Structure 1
C-alpha cells in the first residue's frame, strides 16, 4: 500500500482530517509495519512538536489498518500517553522511520516508532504513543459538549501567544490565549479539540523563551499525559516547575489547566545542553 492508497483508503476513515493529519509522501506498508523517509527537517525548539505530529499520524494510520474494519464511519484515535527519547546526538538531514502497532483491545492500542539516520543507520529517536480507540457514535456521546457545526473555512497556522509570569526561582506560569477552531481545523470535524502537539508546541516555545540566552539547549526526552480533551475558546494556564539535575540537564514539569484549575494534561521535558555531550 502506497502513500496514495493510504490517503484514499485509510485517512478518510480517521477522525482526524485535512489539514491536521499528514504523512510524508513516500510512506508505504511493509508487512505489519508502516515505513517512510524524511529529509531536510528542522525539529529544534518548539518545532520538535512537528516530529511528534508526523510520528503520531503514522501511528494512527498503522493502528487503523490493524482494526481491519469494514465500517465506513470514522474511528477516533485519542492519544493518552506519549514518550519520545533522543537516542543519538548525531546531526542528521535524512532519516527513515518504521512503525509497529499493537491492539491491546478493541478500545486501546499502541504504536512504537524508531527513527534512524539514513547514512549511518544509527537510531536517532524512539517514540511510543498509547491510544484510546473510539467509534463514531461513542465519540459523539463523549464529546457532545464540544460540538460546533459552524463551517471552518480557513486554516490558521499561527498558534496562540503566551505570557510568562515568574513565580519564583523554580517556577513560572504561562498564560496562553485561547485556541480557535480555525487553528484546530481537522481535529476533529465539527468537534474542535486542541491537538496535544499544539499545546506541546506552545509549551516548548515558552520554555525556550524562558531560557533566553542561557546557552544552546535541545530536547533530550519528552513525555505527555492527557487527562481531558482541551476545548477551543478558553484561556489556559501552563504551570511550569524546573530543576537542574545535572550540569547539562534541566527538568521541566508542565501542568496544563484552565483558569478554574481544571487539569487537562501534564508534559515532562528534559533539556540537555548542546555544549555538554
Structure 2
C-alpha cells in the first residue's frame, strides 16, 4: 500500500503520525480514496488501522474546518473494524465514507473498504471522536506537556513479549515504554501514545501465541480507550481468550500500567482460516 504523510491545517495530529493516501477526494462530509498493493495480514493489520484512523480524522476535520480556523483536537472514544468478506484481501481497494456531528463535541466517522474491481465490501470501520478546543485539550492534558520539540521520528515500536501464561485461558503481554520520538506527530508538546500503536504490539503477540503461520485473521476488533497513555510508561496487557466456535476465538485485552491503572480495553474476534486452531 502506498501512502504519504500529509499536513492537514488546524488538525492537531501531524506528520509522521498522520498517514494519508496520495489521492483523496473530500467533499462536504464525504471522503473517497484508493489503496494499492494491499497487505492487511497479521501485523500489517495495524498499519491498515492507522491509515483508516487518519482518513477518519481528516474527514471529520473537513466537516469542521469551514466553521473554525483554530486547531482542533480529536480524542478517540471507540474504534471498530469488521471484516465482511472471507475472500483473500484484494490487491487494490477503494475506501468511501462520511463523518457526522452527533453534538458540538462529539463526532463519528464510518468508512467502507471495497474491492476496487468487484466493489464487494471487505471491511467496515467506525471511529467515534471527542472534539476538543485547544484550550480544553491543554487543560485536560496539562500533566502531559513536554516543552522540548521532538526532532526526529523513530518508526520502530517498543519491544513486547508474553511474560506469563495461565492455563485458564489467560496470558500477559509486557510492552516496553514508548519514547517521544516513537509518538512524534501525535499531539506535539503533549506526547500521548497512539492507541493504534499499542494495538499493533498486542496484535503481534496474539498472532505469535496462536501461531504466526498466517492461518488466522482478525474478523472483528473493537477498542475502548478510557485514559490517555503517557510516554515512558511500562504497559502490561492482561489477555483473556475463549473459544466460541471451532474456528473462532474471542479475546479481551485489558491495557494497564505496572500500578494496575486501566488505560483501554481491546476486544478481538480471531478466526482460523484452517478451521482449527493451535492452542
What TM-score bracket applies, with the shorter chain setting the length? over 0.9
**Residue among 26, 39, 43 paired with 1:42:** 39
Whose helix fraction is larger, Structure 1's or Structure 2's?
1
TM-score by length of 1: 0.93
How far apart are 1:68 and its partner, in Å?
3.9
- For 2:120, the equivalent position in structure 1 comes to 122
**Residue among 140, 143, 146 paired with 2:141:** 143
- Worse-superposed segment, 164-173 or 113-122: 164-173
- For 1:210, the equivalent position in structure 2 comes to 209
TM-score by length of 2: 0.93
How far apart are 1:7 and its partner, in Å?
4.8
Q: CA RMSD in A?
A: 1.9
Cα distance change on mapping 1:214 and 1:37 into 2, 3 Å: closer
Q: Deviations over 1:164-221 (max 9, x none)?
A: 1212240000111100010000001001000011011011011011113687100001
**Residue among 13, 33, 40 paired with 1:16:** 13
Q: Is the 8 A contact 1:215 1:273 kept in 2?
A: no
Give SS of 2:43's match.
helix
- For 1:231, the equivalent position in structure 2 comes to 230
Q: Deviations over 1:119-173 (max 9, x none)?
A: 1110000000000001101100000000001121111111111121212240000
CA distance in 2: counterparts of 1:98 and 1:261, whole angstroms: 40
- For 1:111, the equivalent position in structure 2 comes to 109
- For 1:194, the equivalent position in structure 2 comes to 193
Report how many aligned residue pairs link the two structures. Answer: 272
2:73 corresponds to 1:80: no
- For 2:153, the equivalent position in structure 1 comes to 155
Q: Deviations over 1:35-60 (max 9, x none)?
A: 00001021111221111111111111
Cα distance change on mapping 1:248 and 1:215 into 2, 3 Å: farther
How far apart are 1:118 and its partner, in Å?
0.7
Cα distance change on mapping 1:213 and 1:100 into 2, 3 Å: closer
Gaps of 5+ in 2: none
Q: Deviations over 1:91-133 (max 9, x none)?
A: 2110000011100111000000000001111000000000000
CA distance in 2: counterparts of 1:68 and 1:150, whole angstroms: 28
